[in-house]
Structure 1
Amino acid sequence: MTGPAHPSYPIRTERLTLRPVRVEDLDAIHAHRSLPEVALYLPHEPHTREMTADTLRRVIAGEALAEPGDWLDLAVEDPSGRVVGEVLLKRDAAPLTGEVGYAFHPDVHGTGIATEAVTAALDLAFDGFGWHRVIGICDVLNTPSADLMRRVGMRLEGVWRKDGFDKERWHDSLQFAVLAAEWRRTPPPSPAERAVDAAARAFFASFTRRPGEPVDLAAARRVLAPDAVIERVAADGTVDRGDVDAFLAPRLALLNGPSLTEFREVEAAATTLVAGPRAVRTSQYVTYGVRDGEPFSAWGRKVLQFRASADGAWLIESLLWTDEPERAPVAAV
């Protein structure tokens, strides 16, 4: 099977121009590939200039997507002509299938530029190349990347547990995908679904401890109804029940205590059902942290029941959860 035919470049969107990277893009692309925050969830360290130059040579050679494994690297130019990021399409071994990837300068995070550029690249994959299926993969902790793929209409297909080892740790991955038959046919979430999503994200994100920063759990308290019932199913099947204060107090003490120096809880997968003023959200989540100097991770499930308050806010009226046993990361041999 030959590679896809070259489209007519550049590709233009409302604000952006996409075209294959060129050797003269080295400085602009190295400006973001060299940043630690850009490389944080990538399988490599921040690029040296030589690494960026090697990457450019490799993707330019594979621009035609003539062979499985080749990457088409599209430079993303903003209205001023500045290259602010890249969107990449990889040809996979199976016919008419591929993978999308992306990297953007932090200057444009939160502007919608990444969403606009990735949407244009998927248009190219399906309408230009005639692909049948495109996947996207990200670290389970990379919530902005996962949110972007959900935003453009890709669906979460699965969680890969400890599927890769880099930067001295085993990591978990999320795989998203979209079919040509689904592209642009997925209805957008309703306002209620978006509000429940936002409340759930605020709840999970509040249980974050960064080195040297105190935790107050105010965000979690804001999305918990004052009369919320909170239950935990223990490993032996017994159920502990408590109220909001009984739930938050020990967690606040632990997060601000001397033992736990880093902690993050991330909702990896979730389904939401909204019926009138009530909603049920079933979540699979992962926790990562450093306790007594040793890294640890664990998984669990939560069922959150929401109700709409008089002012339109969605509050958690009940929470049921169970944790899997913790597993300390094991170094590769």
Structure 2
Amino acid sequence: MPDFPLRTARLDLRPHRPEDLDDLLAFHSDPDVVRYVPWPVRDRAATEETLRTKLGQGSWRGPGQWMVLAVELRETATVIGEVLLKHAGDQQGELGFALAREHQGRGYAAEAARELLRVGFDELGLHRVTAVCIEENHDSARLLQRLGFRREARTVDSAFHKGAWVTQLVYGITEVEWRAGPPATDDVADVLAVVRTFFAAFTSGGDVDARIDALRAVLLPQAVVVRTCGLPPAVYDVTSFLEPRRALLSDGTLVDFSEHAVQGRVDVFGDVAHWFGSYEKDGFLRGEPGAGAGMKSVQLVRTPDGWRVSAAAWDDERDGLRLGDHVADERYV
């Protein structure tokens, strides 16, 4: 049984207390926080009821039981989240976490999860820990990958979550992998940064030249870009792709225009990577409002200067084709 509190550089992980109610309510009642977790948005009464349950979950108990710990920010003595470890039997565990929205993006979730994994492997004798997240929960997926978890499965429509069937991603890490440490580089984060640069380039207004030049910098000089959109494929080299778009975004043809990714998937193997996902765009074309959506495929290779785009292709929604027609099939040749 670990000694509480578990202390990290900035946090104390400890069993819940009755006085945690107000802090818990602040994020249990936040729709953005609970969007991907099993429990619903809770009012004060519902939060108080679940807190009574948590008061009895502050220890490592038998198979099937969760150890649920408050994540307290030491500087303010505020509970900013929760971290969970399930006793799954046979030296197996399952990790979970939730964090208040205003404290996300500061590394607190990783700090708390890393400490709970240390306890699981060093003090509780676990051999393997898993974690499950909904496919659209990209932040949790990236966090698990930073912690060293492997993605082991993608289970389609495997849970009925808040009124809809959802696809889940299953991650796992063994004691040996944990002790070896996470990869030295976060390739997924680096690939996503390149993808964000790709989409950000197509924004009208100030700094168009800087955004287009930033995209050119992450394209291989020999990169190929292909547009389909229900027409014969149009194949561009880097210059013939970028320069007409630079003009459209800066000469008033496109106004208040932007493109942004909605969701996507990254696959990395060695020095090759692929992003495939959906995107949306809207703005004014020659004074007329318009909007659209589609799917984009971006292929990347690792170079001495980092990940670079070797090829990209896109297709847009049109009559007879909607994003819901996306086919994902992992059959092998």
Decide: shared fold, TM above 0.5. yes
1:176 aligns with 2:171: yes
Q: Which is further off, 139-148 or 240-249?
A: 240-249
User: What per-residue deviation string (whole Å, max 9, x for no partner) do you get for residues 277-331 of structure 1?
Assistant: xx32145x4438799xxxx998x975423444xxx454313347999995469xx
Shift of 1:120: 0.5
User: What per-residue deviation string (whole Å, max 9, x for no partner) do you get for residues 223-279 of structure 1?
Assistant: 334541135899xxx9874335777889x99xxx9xxx9974434342242xxxxx3
RMSD, aligned α-carbons = 4.3
- Aligned counterpart for 1:304 among listed residues 300, 306, 321: 300
- Aligned counterpart for 2:237 among listed residues 243, 247, 252: 243
| 2:101 matched residue in structure 1 | 106
Counterpart amino acid of 1:316?
Answer: V
| 1:87 matched residue in structure 2 | 83
Shift of 1:154: 1.3
| 1:317 matched residue in structure 2 | 310
Structure showing greater radius of gyration is 2
Q: Which is further off, 16-25 or 262-271?
A: 262-271
Normalised to the residue count of structure 2, the TM-score between the two structures is 0.71
| 2:141 matched residue in structure 1 | 146
Structure 1: distance between partners of 2:239 and 2:160: 39
Shift of 1:156: 1.4
Note if contact 1:59-1:70 (Cα within 8 Å) is conserved in structure 2.
Answer: no
Shift of 1:62: 3.7
User: What per-residue deviation string (whole Å, max 9, x for no partner) do you get for residues 55-87 of structure 1?
Assistant: 222233344443433221111122222212111
Shift of 1:121: 0.6
Judged with a 3 Å threshold, the aligned counterparts in structure 2 of structure 1 residues 316 and 303 are, in CA distance, closer, same or farther, namely closer
| 1:3 matched residue in structure 2 | none
Identity %: 33
Instruction: Tell me the SS of whatever aligns to 2:180.
Output: coil
Structure 2: distance between partners of 1:176 and 1:204: 24
Structure 2: distance between partners of 1:264 and 1:113: 26
Structure 2 residues without counterparts, runs of 5 or longer: 283-292, 327-333
1:202 aligns with 2:193: yes
Structure 1: distance between partners of 2:129 and 2:9: 23
| 2:267 matched residue in structure 1 | 270
User: What per-residue deviation string (whole Å, max 9, x for no partner) do you get for residues 136-160 of structure 1?
Assistant: 1112222221111111111111222
Note if contact 1:9-1:18 (Cα within 8 Å) is conserved in structure 2.
Answer: yes
Note if contact 2:130-2:171 (Cα within 8 Å) is conserved in structure 1.
Answer: yes
Shift of 1:21: 1.1
| 2:219 matched residue in structure 1 | 224
| 1:29 matched residue in structure 2 | 24
Q: Which is further off, 315-324 or 30-39?
A: 315-324
Judged with a 3 Å threshold, the aligned counterparts in structure 2 of structure 1 residues 86 and 23 are, in CA distance, closer, same or farther, namely same
Q: Following superposition of structure 1 onto structure 2, how do residues 29-68 of structure 1 map, counting pairs within 5 Å? A: 29-68=24-63
Number of residue pairs the alignment of both structures matches: 301
Judged with a 3 Å threshold, the aligned counterparts in structure 2 of structure 1 residues 226 and 160 are, in CA distance, closer, same or farther, namely same
| 1:134 matched residue in structure 2 | 129
Instruction: Tell me the SS of whatever aligns to 1:61.
Output: coil
Instruction: Tell me the SS of whatever aligns to 1:181.
Output: helix
Judged with a 3 Å threshold, the aligned counterparts in structure 2 of structure 1 residues 14 and 20 are, in CA distance, closer, same or farther, namely same
Note if contact 1:90-1:98 (Cα within 8 Å) is conserved in structure 2.
Answer: yes
